[in-house]
Structure formats: structure tokens, C-alpha cells
Copies of this chain bind each other. A is one copy, B any other.
Amino acid sequence: MAVEEVLEAYKAGTIDLDVALEQIQASYFQDIGHTVLDNNRKDRTGAGEVVFGEGKSALQISDIVAAMLETGANVLVTRLDEGKYQALEGLPVDATYHPEASLLTVVQDPADTPVTSVAVVSAGTSDYPVAEEAALTAEFFGNTVTRINDVGVAGLHRILARLDELRSARVLVVVAGMEGALPSVVGGLVSKPVIAVPTSVGYGAAFSGVAALLGMLTSCASGVGVVNIDNGFGAGFLANSINRL
């Protein structure tokens, strides 16, 4: 129940004071022992709570998903490896697991779809899981996504050949590992906001994504916003909040 409904019900006498107080608090947060659900987040930030699957047990995730489903929310669990997914209990039949991006989604109340679209661009085949995490996250929140994969800067003609697609998106997520140069090149070709995602692809001096991260933070293209290494989710989330403006 939303707070307004609770107040009405209480006024109407269909619920008593204790129930009313409990319901009001539950619209803000809900303590399920190991976890405190932030049920008010969607009202505040425009997007409901998302479950970070790493470091939580299958049991904890099962509990959280169940509690969220009861509130009618859509559910997105990130960084959920296949083994832990198999161990989840009580999932609804329409839950979908995306192994390529280690995501679980349950959509009870589909979001409306903006008319403009998000482009997700990636530099190499090995960056695919992170790019998919971004694309699927943006889709989870209702966006149309154009995927442009494997167009790294060592073969410029590949990216130049897709300039029209790049320029038709309202916001671009650009994913790259190794030296992470792709956002600089894309940023110099389009007038829309660019969100850069460094990946941990590479070895040696790539330092698990640090080289790409530093490269993106110091990009000679102005105004690129950067998210954490391998954080496809964060990029998709930010792309959604920009695409919905």
C-alpha cells in the first residue's frame, strides 16, 4: 500500500493504528533480517532498488527477491554467477537469467519505453559481457538499445562505417578494455553524452582495467562520464536516467 492508501484506510477504520504505522514504515523500508529493503527508492530516484549479487548467499538473494516481488516491484540481480543462480529458491516462472551478463530479471510491471534510444558500443569481443550488462540493464528499465560491437580503434573504418547509428542515439555507452581509447574517438564524433565503461580485459600493464580507467578519465574528448571498471550496470542505469529526461 502507498502511504496515501494507508491513511485512507486508517481514516475509514478498515485498519487500526498499529497496522497503519507498520504499513507506512514498510513503504519506506522493510527489514528482513540480513537486509533492509529501500522500498522508497523508486519514488526518490526514479528507479527501484537493484540487488548486487556478489557477496550475498543464494539464500539471502532468494529472500530479497521474494520480498521485492511481494511489493510488486521489478527485480534486477547483477553479478549473479550461474552456480548461485541455480541455487536460488522460489523464483517465479517468468524470471529470466542472462548468462552472458550474469543478470537475473523479473518484470512484473513493464516500464514505458522512451522514443529515443541508447547505443551500447564495445571495442572488442572480450568486452561483450560488460556491454551486454549495460544493454540489458537499459532494456530492463524500458529503453530501446542499439548494439555496436567490436569496433575498436585499431581499425577505424569499422567505427566510421557506423557513424549514422552512433549519431542517432540520444546517449552512448562506450565499453573498452586494454588502453580504453574508444570513448575518446567516439566522443570526438558525436554531440550526445558519452558514458565510458572500462573493462578488465587485458593483461600485464592493463592492471585489471586500471589502464582503461585512467585512459577514460583523462580522455582528450571533453565531457565523458566514467563509471567503475566492468560496471556495465551503472552505465546502463545512467543511460536510462539520461534517456528519460
List residues of chain A with CB under 8 Å of any chain B CB: 25, 28-29, 31, 34-36, 38, 40-41, 44-47, 50, 52, 54-56, 60, 64, 79, 123-126, 128, 149-158, 160-161, 170-171, 178-181, 184-185, 187-193, 195, 198, 200-231, 233-235, 237-238, 240-242, 245
Contacts and interface: CB of A to CB of B under 8 A. Distances in A.
A38 B214 contact: no
A153 to B, nearest CB: 5
A199 to B, nearest CB: 9
B211 A217 contact: yes
A204 B218 contact: yes
A213 B158 CA distance: 26
Contacts of A203: 54, 79, 228-231
Contacts of A179: 179-181, 184, 214-216, 218-220
A171 B152 CA distance: 23
Given A150-B34, A155-B38, A228-B204, A193 B242 contact: yes
A207 B215 contact: no
Contacts of A155: 29, 36, 38, 40-41, 188
Contact of A38 (B56, B158, B240): B158
A54 B126 contact: yes
A157 B125 contact: no
A148 to B, nearest CB: 9
Contact of A218 (B157, B185, B206): B206
Given A34-B128, A229-B203, A188 B222 contact: no
A30 to B, nearest CB: 10
